[in-house]
Structure 1
Amino acid sequence: MTKYSEKFKLMLVREYQEGKLGYKLLAEKYGMKDSTPIKRWVKIHEKFGAEGLIKKNHKETYSTNFKLDVLRYMERTGSSEMATALHFGITNHSAIGPWKKAYLEGGAEALEKPKGRPPMSNKAKNKKSKKTLEKKELTNEQKLERENELLRLEVAYLKKLRAFQMDPEGYLQKHKQRYPSNSKNPSN
């Protein structure tokens, strides 16, 4: 899915509102595969203004009761996810789909579960920071061994590159991996 900047979205919405081009023609003009995003942006702009088109840095969290209200409204009215989102002031209509799926699979309890990993406890954070400090403190000998290994790898890479540059075909023939062919040879 292509991501579009807020400026681009606002520009297309304003161009649509001028009335010179419709959704499909705007999509064609700007090389978009589909006009659906433009329709969505126009609806969001009409409901929330330019602020609705701006991406939020944080994900909004909704209560279980709110999610249930949204799903019940959708079921009762037969509204689409987009129309329901606009009705409830949700700028990201795609959040409703996962709520619906979770509700159908696990009921109201499934909507209560927070998404993602639980926050780390202070003990776990302290252990993690101690481990990273221990890893960072390498001895001089370990640093030199690591540097040696990297230099060996670099030399090996440069040798192979030089061999390839001198004779690309011969190099490829020599290093070609042998796999049995799945294609059938035509018989005469």
Structure 2
Amino acid sequence: MAKYSNEFKMMIILEYLDGKSGYKTLARKYGVKADTQIRNWVKSYEKYGVKGVFRKKSKEVYPVQFKLDVLSFMKRTGTSLNETALHFGLTNPPMISSWNKKFLEGGAEALDQPRGRPPMTDKAKNVKSTRTTSENEMTREQTLERENELLRLEVAYLKKLKAFQMDPDGYLEKHKQRYHTNSKKNSD
């Protein structure tokens, strides 16, 4: 559950925008641990409106390539988690840290693994006890297809990284519009 309600965040944002109080004053007044939290809410609100502040009800699934692009952007530009999240329209900056940790530990493949346990249907529950270990394992062909897909992702990532290193400003300008339109589609 979120620590602060959406209504609470909006009340503080609107009070700040009225110009009567600063970040630190509002943090003390309402018991928010850090004034940077309020600053992030205000920046998100200014850039994306109410949707930028409110937590999403459903878990959003991001493609591996998007995660790699976010990590690459953050590494090359040296922006903070909050600035990167704001740039890509993400409302949960610590999620980027999680992606980075997974990538460092297991590469692009680790970014493709869904979180949590998949739901189990009644049919699967009944069949579970009768399965053999060979059915649980992927066939050689499936393993090779999976490996090929991961190599394609890695090559695409390295190409983008090289293009970014050669001309960071040109690369960001070229891809800026794509991320903003994608983030708007994801938040609908």
Counterpart amino acid of residue 99 in structure 1: W
What are the equivalent positions in structure 2 for 1:76-87 lying under 5 Å apart?
A: 76-87=76-87
Structure 2 residues without counterparts, runs of 5 or longer: 129-188
* Structural mapping, 1:22-171, within 5 Å: 22-125=22-125
Whole-Å separation in 2 of the counterparts to 1:106 and 1:119:
24
SS in 1 for 2:117: coil
Where in structure 1 are there 5+ consecutive unaligned residues? 129-188
Note the alpha carbon deviations across 1:2-55, whole angstroms, 9 max, x for none: 711111100100111111111001111112232121111101101110122222
Q: Does 1:10 align with 2:7?
A: no
- Identity, in percent, stands at 58
Rg larger for: 1
1:121: Cα distance to partner?
4.5
| Whole-angstrom distance in 2 between the partners of 1:22 and 1:39 | 9
Distance 1:2 1:121 in 2: 29
Call closer, same or farther: CA 1:87–1:116 in 2, change over 3 Å.
same
Question: Normalising by structure 1, what TM-score?
Answer: 0.63
Paired amino acid for 1:71: L
Q: Distance in 2 between matches of 1:26 and 1:123?
A: 54
Q: Relative to structure 2, which stretch is displaced further, 65-74 or 47-56?
A: 47-56
Determine the C-alpha separation between the residues in 1 that align with 2:33 and 2:82: 20
TM-score w.r.t. the length of structure 2 is: 0.63
Secondary structure in structure 1 of the residue aligned to 2:103: helix
RMSD of aligned alpha carbons: 2.0
Residues 144-186 of structure 1 show CA distances to partners (whole Å, capped at 9, x for unaligned) of xxxxxxxxxxxxxxxxxxxxxxxxxxxxxxxxxxxxxxxxxxx
Give the number of the structure whose residues are more often helix, by fraction: 2
Aligned length: 128
Amino acid at match of 1:112: D
SS in structure 1 at match of 2:120: coil
Q: Determine the C-alpha separation between the residues in 1 that align with 2:44 and 2:68.
A: 22
Aligned CA distance change for structure 1 residues 32 and 91 (closer, same or farther; 3 Å): closer
